[in-house]
Amino acid sequence: MSNFQKILNSFSLKDTLNPKVWTNPSEPEKSVMIPKVRNALEKISENFIDYLGDDIFVEDVILTGSLANFNWSEFSDFDLHIVVDLQQYEKDAQLYKDLFDLKKQVFNQKHDITIFGYDVELYVQDKEEAHFASGVYSIMNDEWITVPKKMDFNPDKEVLKDKIECWTKKIDNAIESSTNKDDKEILDKVKDKLKDYRKSGLEKDGELSYENLVFKFLRRSGHIEKLFKMKDKILDKELSVENKLDS
């Protein structure tokens, strides 16, 4: 089986929640998180919160994403969100948002934390931030905030493949044509368009929208990572000094 088909097949919905994470996985409304998993996520979140700094007040710690739903697969990870009210920082709210985003990136890059083979990805979420998820679990309160429901899900595979191929070509073409600092703008445009594309799908049809599935495919295939690495490569070249003297 090709990697393309393998990723495509991972979007199929399962009959139950992940049994390694949940009790009563076939009945979400009666399920809670397995204590061993919850304890591990609590310890991870506590370490991350300490890393963020002493002045942060946490509203909740939640699990969202595919491991809190029926669309889990081998590509899933634990999407662990630290929910904060950024308005507690008043006029410095955006400054703290940028700081937390930076610390999140450094923490995730510095640590390789897994539970049952699934990576743990941490994120600081403003409590006012729009969050489109049909399964959300409070780690702090040990209860569902949004109970996931099994839905009919039969996307047109050919339509999805066409959309994926369109975006892979856009990214590949942007990377292939990028050789100098001026081309950073091309990469940024593709990145911003993809972000807006996904957002519009989430707002319109939720997590199972074609737009979000395309984004997930590009992340799982490594295309999004390639996009960011190329931008970094151009910046490195721009900031470097060649080992020669001007005559």
Residue with the larger pLDDT of the pair 184 and 120 = 120
Mean pLDDT of the region 58-69 = 95
Q: Where are the domains of the chain?
A: 3-146, 157-239
Tens of pLDDT along 212-246? 999 999 999 999 998 888 878 887 777 777 655 55
| pLDDT tier at 182, thresholds 50, 70, 90 | low
What is residue 6's predicted lDDT score, i.e. its pLDDT? 87
| pLDDT tier at 180, thresholds 50, 70, 90 | low
What is residue 89's predicted lDDT score, i.e. its pLDDT? 84
Sheet of 136-138: strand order equals 114-115, 118-126, 77-84, 58-64, 136-138, 143-146
What is residue 54's predicted lDDT score, i.e. its pLDDT? 66
CB atoms within 10 A of CB 122: 24
What is residue 242's predicted lDDT score, i.e. its pLDDT? 63
| pLDDT tier at 55, thresholds 50, 70, 90 | confident
Tens of pLDDT along 83-110? 999 888 888 888 988 999 999 989 988 8
Looking at the predicted structure, is the pLDDT value of residue 71 above 70? yes
Question: Per the confidence metrics, is the pTM higher than 0.75?
Answer: yes
Name, in order, each residue with C-beta under 8 angstroms of 157's C-beta and a sequence gap of 6 or more.
Answer: 8
